[in-house]
Structure 1
C-alpha cells in the first residue's frame, strides 16, 4: 500500500501542484507511489545527470512536471522530450503546462512500443529520466521498465532514477544482466522526504556474452 502524501513543507512547490498530486493519489493511491511532488533540489540533481547531447530524452512517471520543467529550464529543446504519465488527471495537467512537449498517457511498461510510435529508435536516447516508484512496483513491471530503458539508451546514455530507500532501486542482478553500471550521484536532503539519485549507464568494458 502506498504511503499517505506528505503535507507541504516548503513554498518552493506550488500549491496547485500539491492539489493535483493529492487528487492523483486519492484517485489511485497504489499507482501514485511517491509520497509528495519532487522538490527543486531533487529536480536539479536529477537533471544534472543527463548527458549533453542532441538525442531524445524520455521521462517516465512525470507527475506534476517538476522534472519536465527543470529539463526545459536547463536548455533541453521541447522537441527532444517524450513525457509519459499514466494518471489521466496529471496527464491533463502536463498537457496544459507544457503544450510544446509531447506528453503521452501511457503505462511506463509499454515505453518501448510508445517510443517506436513516436519515432524514437532503440539505442538513440540520451537519457531516461524516471520519477517512478520502483520500490513499490511489482518485480515484473520493474524488469520491463528497466529492460526497455536499457534498450532505448545510446552507448553514452543514462537512466536517471531517484529513490527514498537506502540502496539502488534497480536490483543488482537485473543491472548485471543488462550490463548497467550503477552510480549513486547524490542526495537531495532538502527534498520531502529526502531522496537519493542513481544513474545507470551501459558498461562498455563488460566482456560480451559467449
Structure 2
C-alpha cells in the first residue's frame, strides 16, 4: 500500500472556515472571543488535559471546528461528541463539516436540557467539557450559569472543564469558583496561537457534593 494511503484524513477548506469565522466576528464582535479561529497548537494543549480514558466529550462554542476536528482525530467517536454552538451560521457550518457528530444550536447555560434532548446523556455523563467560549469577558452571573450547567453533565468524581483564555489570570471569577465548589489549575501556554493563549482546568473540590443531571 502506498504512503499516501496511510495519510491521516484531514478536513480541508481552512480558508472558508476562517472567512466564516471572521464574518461572524464582524457581525457580533462582543459575542465571539477572538478575531480568528483557535490554532491547532492550542487544540493540542487543550486535548492534553483530557482525562486519560476520556470517551464522552462536550465542546462549547464549536466555532469553525478546530477543536472538533482535533477531538475526532484524537479518537473520540462522533456519536460520543456533543458540539454546542449558539451562532446559527457557525452551527450550520459545523453540521456540514461534521455530519456524524452531535452538533446542536443552543446556549451553554442550557447545556443539561440540550444534552438530554439529543440523547447524549442516555448512557451516562460526560468525561470532559472543552470550552471555546469567551468566559473572560462575561459577567459573574453568566459565568456561574455556564459553569453550573457544565458540571451538571460531567462525571461527579473526575469530570473536567477545560477552558482557554487570552488573559494573564484565571478566566473564571474567584466568587464563582467558591460558590460552585470548584478548583482551577493552570495548564499549558501556547505562543503559537493568535493571540497567545493559556489553558485552565477546572474540577470539583472533593469535599463538595454536586448533583448531576438524572439519567433516564
TM-score, length-scaled by structure 2? 0.84
Please say if 1:185 is aligned against 2:212.
no
Distance 1:30 1:114, change over 3 A: same
State the 1:108 CA deviation. Answer: 1.2
What are the equivalent positions in structure 2 for 1:1-210 lying under 5 Å apart?
Answer: 14-53=14-53, 55-121=55-121, 124-154=125-155, 155-204=157-206, 206=207
CA distance in 2, matches of 1:94, 1:207: 36
CA distance in 2, matches of 1:144, 1:27: 25
State the 1:25 CA deviation. Answer: 1.0
CA distance in 2, matches of 1:207, 1:160: 19
In structure 2, the gaps of 5 or more residues are: 1-12, 211-216
Distance 1:116 1:41, change over 3 A: same
Rg larger for: 2
In structure 1, the gaps of 5 or more residues are: 1-12
State the 1:14 CA deviation. Answer: 2.2
Instruction: Check the 8 A contact 2:112/2:153 in 1, yes or no.
Output: yes
Distance 1:208 1:151, change over 3 A: closer
The root-mean-square deviation of aligned C-alpha atoms, in Å, is: 2.0
TM-score, length-scaled by structure 1? 0.87
Say which SS state the counterpart of residue 159 (structure 2) adopts.
strand
Larger displacement relative to structure 2 (13-22 or 32-41): 13-22
Say which SS state the counterpart of residue 127 (structure 2) adopts.
strand
Larger displacement relative to structure 2 (82-91 or 137-146): 137-146
Aligned residues: 196
State the 1:121 CA deviation. Answer: 4.1
| Deviation per residue, 1:106-143 (Å, 9 max, x gap) | 11111121112123449711001000001122332211
